[in-house]
Structures are given as structure tokens and as C-alpha cells.
């Protein structure tokens, strides 16, 4: 792989950089760069801007309304938007279920759902984990039974840790349709309207006192059979396909580059023994270490993107592990850098600007919540322990 950018790729990077500079709302940018709380409307505004430009689904194949970007263009777009302070694109529709629908969906599912995802009409959430079925996902118990007429499934059960379910229009859901054979063989993949009668969403308030995840309950929810993706009892295959895209996305190189810049700015401001913390050789070595690890991750992401045909393989587990660990390290270093100012954690600080009164510098106020929020990065998308098992079995052959 040639690690230098071509003239065309550099021109594309400049185009993205100029577009973001001209079109990213200043208040949204400020919230992202200062680690403030983002609302759904903040995400919608930015994604609508990208939709009008034709870039929200730029990474999709042209046949489905995308731009057919190359892996390098996808990487450059993600990097430039993240570094500039754009909110992350909510991945559940665009980067996850859309790929499953493209690969395994019916003609009707493709014509109905893909344009609504591409045009930022439908928001999706992911119905995978259940109480007792997280890392051992195949043990899930939410059941879908064909109605007597055969045209609907009746779904009963519970999902948990469902990110942004409180905002979602649709949920893609793993359900059990058979108890025969191996537990992986009786799972199906359903697309369910969140406005369906019998669905209840209950918030889970996390350690950083945010409402990001939820419990979702299904009580005799009727789902049209036409919303079954692919074949009944083949959902485990589709789920693994989707998880490859999710784990590649979790790597988050662009966002980590932005946070590394923020960290370097903080250590220039923070004083230790009368001099900037950046001049402390031990702390500087820790920053250099994570900087090197991030560069190595970026090169690995580029190799994976350049070599993949249809879907990332087990190498996506490597990206997930390293990406999530680097994200956590960056938040740890920021907490260490601001020292005692990290102690007072006030949730409302995430809504306030740097001009707000408080203990310590304004940029310190949200960092404790940021630290707590990223503790989950090594768990979601398949815990890092599970990813190491995948690598040992499928990459190393152990």
C-alpha cells in the first residue's frame, strides 16, 4: 500500500476541509471541541447539511445513492470532519444496518429503507444486547413467532444498552425464531418500527449521568414478515457482517487525532512546579507513546480499508481493540493533566461554555464526564476480551 496521498486525494481533502469550514455551525463545533452535551437537533442539523451536499452517505456505492468514495477518501472525510469539530455521524443506519440491507435485503427493503437512511429521514438504533446476553450474544432470548395468518411476527422480549433508542424511528433487532440446533442457528434479523404498539423505552442513566442508553421492551409487537432481512434463522450471519463494519468504525482515528490536539493544548496551559506540564519529561513520554500508537492505528486502518472486498474480517477486531484503548488513554491523560480540577464533576458543566464560573479553568469542567463516558468503549461492539479471542482463533489459528 502506498502511504502517500495522490494529487487527487489531496484535492479531495482540501475540498472537504473547505466545505466543513464554511458550513459547520459554529455553536455545534464549539460544543464538540469543548466536550459539551450535544442534542439530537445538533446531530440532525449537521447531517442535513451533509445530505444536501450529497456526502452523508458518500461512502456508499453509487448504485444506492452514494459517491462511491475510495477507502482513502472515506478516511480523509472522517479525519477532516472530526478534527474540525463536527459531530460524529450516528452510525446505526448509515454505517451498520445499511450495509446489511445492501448485501442481504430484499428489493423492497433496499428501495424503501436505503433512501430514508441516506436522506437523514429515519434514525436507527441497534437491538442486540439483552440482560444476560451481551458478550454471549447468541444466547439472546427475545422471541419472534409467526402469527396465525403468517404475515406478521409477534415479538416479545427485552433489549438493553440500546444507544439513542429514545430518538430512534427504527430498530434492527436480533430475535430467536427457532430453538433447534446450535443457538446461533435459530436467530433472525428483523427491522422494527419503534412506533409500533407494545414497544416501551426506559432510560438507563450511565456513570457520567447521561441518558445515552436504554432498555427496550417488546410486548406482543407485530412486525410485518416483509421486514425480515434475508432468510429466517440466518440472522447470525448478517449480525457478524454488521459487526465487522461497527468495529472498524469504532477505531475513530479522526476523533482521536482531535482529542490528541486538545490534550497537547491542555498540557501547554497546565503548570507543574512553575513550568508547563508539556515540559515534564515523564508526561511528555506518555503523550509521545499514545501519539505513536495512534499513528500505527491509522496505518492499520488504511491497510484494512484498502484490502477489504465487501466486509471487514477478523482484522476489524484489532482496530476495535486499539481504537478503544487509545480513546480511553486520551481521556485518562486529560484527567491527569488537570489534576485536582478533575475531581468536582457537575453534569450541568457539559451544557455550559468556557466563560462559566466554576472550579478551575473552563475546559476542565466536562473532562470527568468525558472520562467516565469512554469507559464503555472497550465493552460495546463486542468486549475487547471477546475481540482477543476472535484474533487468537481466526487470525493466529490458536
Residues 327-355, mean pLDDT to the nearest whole number: 81
The residues with which 240 forms a beta bridge, in sequence order, are none
Q: Is the pLDDT of residue 359 over 80?
A: no
Residues 232, 145: contact at Cβ < 8 Å?
no
Per-residue confidence at 245, pLDDT binned at 50, 70, 90? low
Per-residue confidence at 61, pLDDT binned at 50, 70, 90? very high
Phi/psi at 81 (5° precision):
-65, -40
Cβ neighbours of 225 (radius 10 Å): 15
Residues 230, 105: contact at Cβ < 8 Å?
yes
pLDDT digits (tens, 9 = 90+) for 94-142: 999 999 999 999 999 999 999 999 999 999 999 999 998 877 888 999 9
Residues 317-322, mean pLDDT to the nearest whole number: 88
Residues 351, 363: Cα–Cα separation, whole Å: 12
Q: Is the pLDDT of residue 146 over 60?
A: yes
Residues 217, 229: Cα–Cα separation, whole Å: 21
pLDDT digits (tens, 9 = 90+) for 206-238: 988 889 999 999 999 999 999 999 999 999 999
Q: Is the pLDDT of residue 397 over 90?
A: no
The helix/strand/coil state of 254 is helix
Residues 50, 77: Cα–Cα separation, whole Å: 11
Grid cell in block for residue 155: 415479538
Residues 193, 95: Cα–Cα separation, whole Å: 19
Residues 188, 230: Cα–Cα separation, whole Å: 9
Cα–Cα distance list, 220 to 157, 217, 332 (Å): 9, 10, 45
Domains and CATH numbers, the chain: 7-89 (1.10.540.10), 124-233 (2.40.110.10), 251-395 (1.20.140.10)
* pLDDT (0 to 100) of residue 110: 98
* pLDDT (0 to 100) of residue 246: 63
Of 62-71, 213-222, 369-378, give the range with the top mean pLDDT.
213-222
Residues 306-334, mean pLDDT to the nearest whole number: 83
pLDDT digits (tens, 9 = 90+) for 257-292: 999 999 999 999 998 888 999 999 999 999 999 999
Residues 163-174, mean pLDDT to the nearest whole number: 97
* pLDDT (0 to 100) of residue 349: 66
Phi/psi at 286 (5° precision):
-65, -40
Looking at residue 54, the DSSP 8-state letter turns out to be T
Nearest CA to 101 out of 111, 92, 110, 112 is that of 110
- Mean pLDDT for the chain overall: 90
Q: Between these two residues, 184 and 194, which has the higher pLDDT value? A: 194
The helix/strand/coil state of 259 is helix
Which are the contacts of 301, defined by CB distance < 8 A and separation ≥ 6?
A: 75, 248, 251, 253, 319
Q: Is the pLDDT of residue 305 over 80?
A: no
Instruction: State how beta strands 124-127 and 170-176 pair.
Output: parallel
Q: Between these two residues, 256 and 208, which has the higher pLDDT value? A: 256
Residues 37-60, mean pLDDT to the nearest whole number: 96
Looking at residue 96, the DSSP 8-state letter turns out to be I
User: How many residues can be counted in the chain?
Assistant: 398
The residues with which 191 forms a beta bridge, in sequence order, are 172
The helix/strand/coil state of 176 is strand
Which are the contacts of 141, defined by CB distance < 8 A and separation ≥ 6?
A: 130, 132, 133, 157, 176
Residues 168-188, mean pLDDT to the nearest whole number: 94
pLDDT digits (tens, 9 = 90+) for 77-104: 999 999 999 999 999 999 999 999 999 9
The helix/strand/coil state of 295 is helix
Residues 70-74, mean pLDDT to the nearest whole number: 88
* pLDDT (0 to 100) of residue 90: 95
**For the whole model, what pTM was predicted?**
0.90
* pLDDT (0 to 100) of residue 3: 61
Residues 163, 220: Cα–Cα separation, whole Å: 22
Q: Between these two residues, 78 and 394, which has the higher pLDDT value? A: 78
* pLDDT (0 to 100) of residue 308: 55
Weakest mean pLDDT among 286-300, 306-320, 324-338: 306-320
* pLDDT (0 to 100) of residue 64: 96
Amino acid at each position: 500500500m502506498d502511504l502517500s496521498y495522490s494529487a487527487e486525494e489531496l484535492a479531495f481533502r482540501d475540498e472537504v476541509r473547505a466545505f466543513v469550514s464554511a458550513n459547520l455551525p459554529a455553536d455545534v463545533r464549539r460544543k464538540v471541541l469543548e466536550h459539551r452535551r450535544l442534542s439530537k437537533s445538533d446531530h440532525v442539523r449537521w447531517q442535513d447539511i451533509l445530505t444536501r451536499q450529497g456526502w452523508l452517505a458518500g461512502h456508499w456505492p453509487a448504485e444506492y445513492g452514494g459517491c462511491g468514495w475510495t477507502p482513502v477518501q472515506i478516511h480523509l472525510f472522517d479525519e477532516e470532519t472530526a478534527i474540525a469539530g463536527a459531530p460524529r455521524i450516528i452510525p446505526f443506519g448509515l454505517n451498520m444496518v445499511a450495509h446489511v440491507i445492501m448485501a442481504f435485503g430484499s428489493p423492497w427493503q433496499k428501495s424503501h429503507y436505503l433512501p430514508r437512511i441516506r436522506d437523514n429521514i429515519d434514525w436507527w438504533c441497534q437491538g442486540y444486547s439483552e440482560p444476560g446476553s451481551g458478550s454471549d450474544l447468541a444466547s439472546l432470548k427475545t422471541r419472534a413467532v409467526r402469527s396465525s395468518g403468517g404475515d406478521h411476527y409477534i415479538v416479545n422480549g427485552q433489549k438493553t444498552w440500546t444507544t439513542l433508542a429514545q430518538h430512534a424511528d427504527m430498530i434492527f433487532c436480533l430475535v430467536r425464531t427457532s430453538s433447534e440446533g446450535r443457538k446461533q442457528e435459530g436467530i433472525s434479523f428483523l427491522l422494527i418500527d419503534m412506533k409500533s404498539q407494545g414497544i416501551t423505552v426506559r432510560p438507563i442513566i450511565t456513570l457520567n449521568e447521561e441518558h445515552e442508553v436504554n432498555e427496550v421492551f417488546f410486548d406482543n409487537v407485530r412486525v410485518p414478515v416483509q421486514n425480515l432481512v434475508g432468510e429466517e434463522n440466518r440472522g447470525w450471519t448478517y449480525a457478524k457482517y454488521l459487526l465487522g463494519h461497527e468495529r472498524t468504525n469504532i477505531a475513530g482515528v479522526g476523533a482521536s487525532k482531535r482529542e490528541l490536539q486538545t490534550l497537547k493544548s491542555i498540557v501547554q496551559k497546565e503548570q507543574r512546579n512553575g513550568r508547563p506540564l508539556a515540559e515534564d519529561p515523564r508526561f511528555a513520554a506518555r503523550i509521545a507513546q499514545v501519539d505513536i500508537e495512534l499513528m500505527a492505528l491509522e496505518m492499520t486502518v488504511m491497510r484494512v480499508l484498502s484490502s477489504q472486498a465487501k466486509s471487514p474480517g477478523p482484522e476489524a477486531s484489532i482496530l476495535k481493540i486499539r481504537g478503544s484503548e487509545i480513546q480511553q488513554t486520551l481521556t485518562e491523560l486529560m484527567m491527569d493533566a488537570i489534576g485536582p480540577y478533575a475531581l468536582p464533576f457537575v453534569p450541568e458543566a457539559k451544557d455550559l461554555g468556557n466563560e462559566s464560573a466554576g472550579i478551575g479553568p473552563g475546559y476542565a469542567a466536562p473532562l470527568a464526564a468525558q472520562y467516565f463516558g469512554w469507559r464503555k468503549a472497550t465493552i460495546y461492539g463486542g468486549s475487547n476480551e471477546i475481540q482477543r479471542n476472535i484474533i487468537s482463533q481466526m487470525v493466529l489459528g490458536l
